[in-house]
Each structure stands twice: as structure tokens, then as C-alpha cells.
Amino acid sequence: MSNFRSLRSAVAAAALGLALATGAAPAFAAEDLTITVPANPGGGWDQTGRAMAEVLQGEKLARSVEVDNVAGAGGTIGLAQFASRPGEPDALLVMGLVMTGAILTNNSPVTLESTTPLARLTSEYEGLVVPADSPLKTVGELVEKLKADPASVSWGGGSAGGTDHILAGLVMKAVGADTSKLNYVAHSGGGEALASILGGHVTVGVSGVGEFVEQAKTGKLRFLAVSSDARIDGVEAPTLAESGVDVVLGNWRGVVGAPDIDDEERAALLVTLDAMAATEAWKKILSARGWTDAYLSGDAFAEFLKEDDARVVQTLKDIGLVE
Amino acid sequence: MDLLTNLAHGFAVVFQPINLMWSLVGVTLGTLIGVLPGIGPALTIALLLPVTTKMDPAAAFIIFGGVYYGAMYGGSTTAILINTPGESGSLVTAIDGNKMARKGRAPAALATAAIGSFVAGCIGTLLLAAFAPTMVEWAVKISPADYFALAILAFVSVACLLGRSVLAGLLSLLMGVAIALVGIDGQSGQARYAFGEPSLMNGIGVVVVIVALFAVAEALSLAADPKARSEEITPLKGRVLMTREDLRRSWKPWLRGAAIGFPFGALPAGGAEIPTFLSYSLERKLSDHPEEFGEGAIEGVAGPEAANNAAVAGVMAPLLALGLPTSATAAILLAAFQQYGLQPGPTLFSGSSTLVWSLIASLLLGNLMLLLLNLPMAGLWARLLYIPRPFLYAGILVFATLGVYGASRSLNDVIFMLIVGLMGFAMRRLDFPIAPMVVGLVLGPMAEQHFRRAMQISQDDWTVFFTSTPAGPLLALAAVLAIAPPLIRRWRRKSAQTAPA
């Protein structure tokens, strides 16, 4: 092991020496990065973190990338641990839309304000579905039902305060139904929610489009609408906006840096991320996973984060999840 | 036809050399821990969980399946040789099996146990393969109200059946439920009993509690009890073989044991213990030599051993098809599925069917491996018991701590483990059953979440629990199970008092 390590450093030193000798710039945009994933292996955040590590290393944008899972409490445990390492220039934290809600509902002492916003990477749009034998055929019919008796529509989706829950709240608000009567049935995972929807136990199902595509193909589920701004390839459904419900919501995922890093360090990380997002390898992973490229970096992302945060906070208040 | 193609797919995965090796690792490990009294498949799989995080899920479940069956095999070995059932499912085996061993007929007892387990394990696994997908079709129709009723039925049965008294059983169960309540509530997203401590918001892991209750508590019990030291071991004489007469007397109990075991395992509160009792009493009724029972009747080993292995296959059916854990081991397996982001239940067969069928194929393969392993090597397994128990349990304690810390790298979890371990030690000393606590821990949140989902969907109309089927009948059955035994006892006491008068 130590032999191997010394061999590796010898090779690295030789490579560096060669680079210096030929007058070329060092091969790596970043040195040794650590990516904190505030969730268990397997989920969306974990997949994002591991995809980043793969591309950053594979494309020689970083010398080494270590992915560290710190799971729990909607990502706030990972966030708290991450925020306790101020000034570390090589630390990244994967985060996204869901974290804002978790920070509020868990009364997390640490918020995203104690991090340095870097970039939004991907987005996954949501679908509204009903089981094949549901009497509801269109969003219009759903809206009528919501207006007549909001509580009679039960929504089946993922965890409370998550993207699915927020979308249900936004739809209620957009159609002018009483958001405090939102009847949202939370499930601990996509599979569990899917079983509830397939069995016809809830009126309408909400989750990432990808979760439903297979079931829709076999005719067991029917899409009513998708939450994107334009129609999605391979999904036979209008957007919510087309159906008269003015809501667009993407389950976006992004990355932030450690608190109190200086402008230079922030700029260096942004250069690395910009380079990563532009690679073919990154785009390949996005299309394989069905993620939409939603790359937005630097000040524009910081601005977006602020606006999105305000919208989520307001929605969670409307549906009575936070005071 | 579908069954055969699916099984073929499963075998294609299992027969990859690496997976064959994992299966061998699993059954060997399972037999080892089955031979060691007190260490069960639940603990072993719990300890393996962090190790297998990075493995391919199929390989991990091949190991787990091997461990589960292997433990049932190994448990009978100690039951027969030293009258110490390695598992609760081998309790009955000890009665006649040990008598046989004392009469120098240990080889026949071990052989009928091994072959019976093989036959029943295969029958049970094939029933699982044939009917689990059908159960899935029906399983999506099960509403939150029905799940709630199932959970309540399991609660009641476990508390009544596994406890010294209903009160002790219920108390143990409720302690499990209380531990399960810590953490973020699924429906409201609010933290409960976390006292603002972020590490508690995640809840206390089922694995941590089970390691504490089984390994830590067992080690503490041993340390506190000087009597639990050396135990006499009957050496194996001769070859592990059965006579023609033994075979003639064994084959019917094997089949009957399998027939009793599978459905009981598949029942939410069936488990592996009740069918062994039923099989034993049935064999005694049907035997030509009822007087031999209790003195070393081979049927009394063959039947219960077949029953407990078929029950293991049965337990897999509700686990795979409904996501419903009906034993401590099944609860751990459920946690294992969730570790890989898989939710056992209706969608498992459609979403991860390769995994499911390779698991089923590996159960069949594991059975065969176990037979080959156990018949010639039973004598060798028994030698493990020569390890002095203090050393054995000191080692277990070290591995438990390492396992729990390694899983989360959180010192808090180690502290929880020690606290719950002390609790488990106290429970053992006071003769409180531990199994209901694990059931409460697993079923408690399930009952609660399904209750609230059902209420939400019905818009707070509680009659949904009585009007929907099977929720209504299940709840009625649970009520009968809870109320009937004390009534019968009271009635018996009364008639006992009035009879002499």
C-alpha cells in the first residue's frame, strides 16, 4: 500500500516536473476535492455527487475527488457538519430544492446562508398521474374537483415538505383552492408512493416524471400533466401551464462551497464547475439519468437561490407545514 | 411457464462464480452462527449490513438468504448435541433430538434434521416462487387501513404468543414503539422526541437496537451469570447416516412439517416457532409409537425441523410481496432492502425482478449447499462450542461495537447501543420477552403511518377501518386474540375451583 502510494506520488511528481519543464500549465484545475452528500447512497443527491466525482476525475479537472455521505434529517445534518468547516477551499456540498424545506421544518440552526452558493446543476420535472381506471382525465377535471371540495383530493407523493408536497401546494394556490385543506399523503420512498397510486388509494400521484414513465408505458398509470415549462420527450402529457395552471417547478440540484472562502477560492471552484458542466461526459450522464441540464453558476445562482427560497417558504407556510 | 423462465433468469445470476462463492460464504456463516447459541440470523445480517453497503444488491441478498437458512440448519445441531437450541425455531428439536443423541443416535437425528430442512426448504421456496407474484397482484389492493389492521394483528399475536404474560409482552412491544417514535415524523415532517438534537432527528436505527438487544444484552447476561459456563458435549459416534427404518419414519413428517411451516411463516404473526409446536404435536398424534415421544422419537425431530425451514421460506413471501416483516430477521432484511433504496412490496417484483428471482434461486441453491455441508460436517460444527463462552462473547461485543460505529461513524449510535443493551440485559434478567420489542420497533411506525394515511384519505372518517375488507375482519380477529386467552383462563380457573366442590 505505502509502496503503491509512493509510486503514485513519484508518478505525480514526474508528471508535474514534465509539465513545468515543458512550460505547460498544471494539468488540474483543482487539486483534491471533497464532495459532501447529505443523504444515503443511492438517492438523487448521492447520484449527483458521484456523477460529479466521476466527471471531475475522468476529465482530469481535479486530481482526486472524495465523496462523503452524511445522511439524515432532509440533508440538514450534512449541512450542519459542512458549515462547521469554514474557509476550506476544496469542499463542496450537494444540495437542492428539498433542503430549503428541511431547514425550515427541522428548525435547523444552520441555513444555506452559512454556505457559499456556487452552481445549480440539474433539474428533474414532476408529473401528476392517476391510476388507469381513475375517472379524472384532465387537469381541468382535477381543478374542478379541487375547487368544489379541496380535501376530497388526496395527493400521494414523497416525504412531507419535499418537492412533491410543494408542487401540490403550488397547484392548489394557483387554482385558488384553500391551501390549508391540502390533503397530502406522504410516503417514505418512491416505491411506497407508487404502490399507493397504483392501488388507487390516493386520488392523484405526484413525483419525478421518471418514477412514472415505466408504469405509464404499461398503461397502469396515466399522466395528467408535467411541471416543466415545455413538453417532455417521451411523455404524452401537457404542461401544467398549458392546462391553465400557472406553475413550473423543477426539482433542482446544485452545489455550494464552504462558508467564508475568499473570492479567489470561489472563482477557482466556479472555473472547475463551469469546465465540468461543459464536458461531453457530464452531458452523457445527464441524458442517461433523465436529468435536465439546468446549469446556472455564480451570482445568477445566488440570485435564483434567494428567489426560490422565498417561494418555498411561502408555499410551506400556505400549506401549514411551518408557522 | 413464467415461473420457470424467471427461475432460469435467477439461476443465471446465481450461477455466476462470484455469486456461487457468496452463497457458500452465506450458508457457512449462517451455519456457524446457528451453531453458536444466542447469535441468530438477525444479528448476523445486521452486522453484515454496513459491510455489504458497497456490494451489488443481488450478491448481498444471496449472502443474507444463505445466512437465514444456514442459521436454521445450524440451530438444530446444537439443539440435538447439547440440548441448546441455537434458534427459537429449534426449541422443539431439542426435546427428542437430544434424547436420541444421548442414546448414541446423534447421527440419525442430525441427518433427519438436515434432510428434512432441505426438503422443506425447497418446497417452501418453490411455493414462494409460485405464489409470491400472485400475492403481489393482490397486494397493491391492500389499502392503508388494511395495513394498519395487519400491523395491529401482528402486534396482538406477538404480545400474546411470545410473552410470559400479556402484560410483559405488551410492555416490551410498547418500548419498541416508543424508540421508533424518535425522529422526524413522516406525515408532518416535524421532529419528535429529538430534543433539538440533530443526531436524534434521524431516529434510532433498527440495526443499532437489534445489535444492542441481542449481542450486547446476551454478553452482559453471560458476564453476570457464572452458571453459564462449560456444558457437556456428547461426542458424535459413527457416521452420519440413517437406517431404512429411520427414513421410513421420517419422510411423512418432513412433508407434513413443510405443509404446516410455509403458511405459518407467511402469516403476519406466524413465525417459525408455532409451526414447530404444531408439527410436534401432530406427529405424536399420528405416530405408531407415541410412547417414544419425549424419549427420542425420530418423527419429533423430522417434523419440527422441516416446519421451521419451510416457515423461513414463508416469511419471505409477505416480506417480498407486501414489504411486511414478520420476524426479527425479516425486519433486518427489510432494512437491508431499504439500504439499497428498494422498497419491498408490490413494485419490487416489477421494478427489481432480477434481484427477486436471483434471491429465490439462491435460496434453492443455498439449501443444496447446506445439505452437502451439514451431512458430513456436523461433528466439526459442534467443535465450535469448545470456544470458551467468555471469549466468544467478548469477541461478539467487539464486533457489535465496530459494526455499529462503522455503519454511521457516529459515536452517538454506539452510546444508544450501550444504553439499549443495558435495557435488554435488564429485560432478560426480569424475564421480559425481547422479540415483541423488535416487532414494536418495526411495526410501530408502520401502524402509525398507515393509520394516519387511512384517516387522511378517508377525510377523518374512522369507520373506514371497519367497513373495508380485509381491515374489518383482521381487526376483529385481533380483538378476539387479545380478549379470548384471558377469558378462557378465567373460565378454566373458575371451573377448576368449582370442580372439587
For A190-224, give one letter per residue: b (16+ CB within 10 A) or e. Answer: bbbbbbbbbbebbbbbbbbbbbbbebbeeebbbbb
Chain B residue closest in CA terms to A42? B341
Q: Could you say which residues from 101 to 120 on chain A have a Cβ atom under 8 Å away from some Cβ of chain B?
A: 101-102, 105-108
In this structure, is residue A240 part of a structural domain?
Answer: no
Cα separation of A313 and A311, whole Å?
6
**In terms of Cα–Cα distance, which of A130, A202, A198 is closest to B458?**
A202
Cα separation of A155 and A144, whole Å?
15
* Least confident piece of the model among A104-118, A170-184, A210-224: A210-224
Instruction: Report whether B303 contacts B96 (CB < 8 A).
Output: no
* Least confident piece of the model among B339-343, B372-376, B477-481: B339-343
In this structure, is residue A234 part of a structural domain?
Answer: no
Q: Give the pLDDT of residue A171.
A: 94
* Least confident piece of the model among A292-306, B137-151, B170-184: B137-151
CB nearest A160 (choices: B187, B341, B346): B187
Min CA distance, B454 vs chain A (Å)?
9
Which run of H or E residues covers position A221?
A: strand A221-226
Kindly indicate the confidence band of residue A299, based on its pLDDT and cuts at 50, 70 and 90.
Answer: very high
Min CA distance, A179 vs chain B (Å)?
15
Residues in chain A within 8 Å Cβ distance of B348: 191
A134 and A91 within one domain: no
Cell of residue B170, nine digits: 405488551
Q: What is the CA radius of gyration of chain B?
A: 22
| Of A226, A259, A278, the domain-final residue | A226
- Angstrom distances, CA of residue B152 to CA of B165, B335, B448, B475: 18, 20, 10, 7
Cell of residue B207, nine digits: 440495526
With an 8 Å Cβ cutoff, is A99 touching chain B? no
Cα separation of B285 and B287, whole Å?
6
A103 and A131 within one domain: no
List of residues 6+ apart from B114 with CB closer than 8 A: B73, B76, B370, B371, B374, B375, B378
Which of A45, A104, A105, A166 should we substitute to test contact with B (largest number of B Cβ atoms within 10 Å)? A105
Instruction: Report whether B180 contacts B203 (CB < 8 A).
Output: yes
Chain A residue closest in CA terms to B460? A151
- What average pLDDT does the segment A273-294 reach? 86
Domain that holds residue A10: 2-123+251-318
CB nearest A154 (choices: B139, B347, B456): B456
Q: Could you say which residues from 118 to 177 on chain B have a Cβ atom under 8 Å away from some Cβ of chain A?
A: 139-144
List of residues 6+ apart from A20 with CB closer than 8 A: none
Cell of residue B424, nine digits: 435488554
CB nearest A76 (choices: B198, B339, B347): B198
Instruction: Indicate the pairing of strand A183-186 with strand A154-157.
Output: parallel
**In terms of Cα–Cα distance, which of A91, A102, A110, A106 is closest to A49?**
A91
A271 and A198 within one domain: no
In this structure, is residue A98 part of a structural domain?
Answer: yes
Cell of residue B281, nine digits: 404435536
Min CA distance, B146 vs chain A (Å)?
11
Min CA distance, B210 vs chain A (Å)?
20
Min CA distance, A148 vs chain B (Å)?
15
Cα separation of B261 and B240, whole Å?
26
* Least confident piece of the model among A184-193, A225-234, A308-317: A184-193
In this structure, is residue A81 part of a structural domain?
Answer: yes
Q: Could you say which residues from 331 to 360 on chain B have a Cβ atom under 8 Å away from some Cβ of chain A?
A: 338-343, 345-348, 351
Cα separation of B363 and B30, whole Å?
13
In this structure, is residue A270 part of a structural domain?
Answer: yes
With an 8 Å Cβ cutoff, is A44 touching chain B? no
Helices (H), ranges, A59-157 = 76-83, 97-105, 139-148
A296 and A216 within one domain: no
Cα separation of B395 and A17, whole Å?
51
| ω into B470 cis (within 30 of 0) | yes
pLDDT digit string, tens, across residues A15-63: 444 434 444 444 565 678 889 988 766 567 887 888 898 888 888 888 8
A136 and A71 within one domain: no
**In terms of Cα–Cα distance, which of B184, B501, B44, B380 is closest to A76?**
B184
**In terms of Cα–Cα distance, which of B331, B340, B231 is closest to B271?**
B331
Q: Give the pLDDT of residue B323.
A: 63
DSSP A235: -
With an 8 Å Cβ cutoff, is A202 touching chain B? yes
A112 and A12 within one domain: yes
Cell of residue B181, nine digits: 417514535
CB nearest B184 (choices: A73, A199, A214): A73
Residues in chain B within 8 Å Cβ distance of A43: 341
A105 and A94 within one domain: yes
Cα separation of B286 and B293, whole Å?
11
Contact flag A42-B346 (C-beta cutoff 8 Å):
no
Cα separation of B86 and B156, whole Å?
26
Taking each continuous run of H as one helix and of E as one strand, the counts in chain A are: 11, 10
Chain B residue closest in CA terms to A75? B202
| Of A163, A191, A226, the domain-final residue | A226
Which of A50, A100, A194, A217 should we substitute to test contact with B (largest number of B Cβ atoms within 10 Å)? A194
Does pLDDT of A284 surpass 80?
Answer: yes
**In terms of Cα–Cα distance, which of B220, B171, B183 is closest to B435?**
B171
Cβ–Cβ pairs < 8 A, chains A and B: 103
Map residue A323 onto helix, strand or coil: coil
Kindly indicate the confidence band of residue A206, based on its pLDDT and cuts at 50, 70 and 90.
Answer: very high
CB nearest B345 (choices: A80, A105, A192): A192
Q: How far from chain centre, in Å, is Cα A94? A: 9
The total number of structural domains in chain A stands at: 2
Question: What CATH number is given to the structural domain containing A155?
Answer: 3.40.190.10
Q: Could you say which residues from 227 to 286 on chain A have a Cβ atom under 8 Å away from some Cβ of chain B?
A: none
**In terms of Cα–Cα distance, which of B150, B149, B114 is closest to B309?**
B114
Q: What is the DSSP string of B333-368?
A: HHHHHHHTT---SHHHHHHSHHHHHHHHHHHHHHHH
A55 and A107 within one domain: yes
Contact flag A160-B347 (C-beta cutoff 8 Å):
no
A221 and A259 within one domain: no
Kindly indicate the confidence band of residue B258, based on its pLDDT and cuts at 50, 70 and 90.
Answer: very high
With an 8 Å Cβ cutoff, is A297 touching chain B? no
Chain B residue closest in CA terms to A194? B347
Q: Give the pLDDT of residue A255.
A: 95
Q: Give the pLDDT of residue A2.
A: 38
pLDDT digit string, tens, across residues B155-166: 776 555 455 677
Question: What CATH number is given to the structural domain containing A62?
Answer: 3.40.190.150
A60 and A39 within one domain: yes
Does pLDDT of B281 surpass 80?
Answer: no
Contact flag B143-A201 (C-beta cutoff 8 Å):
yes
In this structure, is residue A101 part of a structural domain?
Answer: yes
Chain A residue closest in CA terms to B140? A199
Which run of H or E residues covers position A173?
A: helix A163-174
Does pLDDT of B310 surpass 70?
Answer: yes
The per-residue pLDDT of chain B, averaged, comes to 77
Which of A108, A196, A214, A221 should we substitute to test contact with B (largest number of B Cβ atoms within 10 Å)? A196
Which of B51, B148, B184 should we substitute to test contact with A (largest number of A Cβ atoms within 10 Å)? B184
Which run of H or E residues covers position A92?
A: strand A91-96
A210 and A131 within one domain: yes
In this structure, is residue A199 part of a structural domain?
Answer: yes
Kindly indicate the confidence band of residue B291, based on its pLDDT and cuts at 50, 70 and 90.
Answer: confident
**In terms of Cα–Cα distance, which of A70, A78, A33, A31 is closest to A52?**
A33
B411-415 long-range CB contacts below 8 Å, 24 or more apart?
Answer: B412/B199, B413/B205, B413/B208
Min CA distance, B469 vs chain A (Å)?
14
Q: State which amino acid sits at residue A111.
A: T
| Of A210, A226, A242, the domain-final residue | A226
CB nearest B347 (choices: A102, A107, A191): A191
A35 and A111 within one domain: yes
Specify which of A102-111, A145-154, A214-223, B328-337 reaches the highest per-range mean pLDDT. A145-154
In this structure, is residue A312 part of a structural domain?
Answer: yes
- What average pLDDT does the segment B80-104 reach? 72
- What average pLDDT does the segment A100-123 reach? 87
- What's the pTM? 0.70
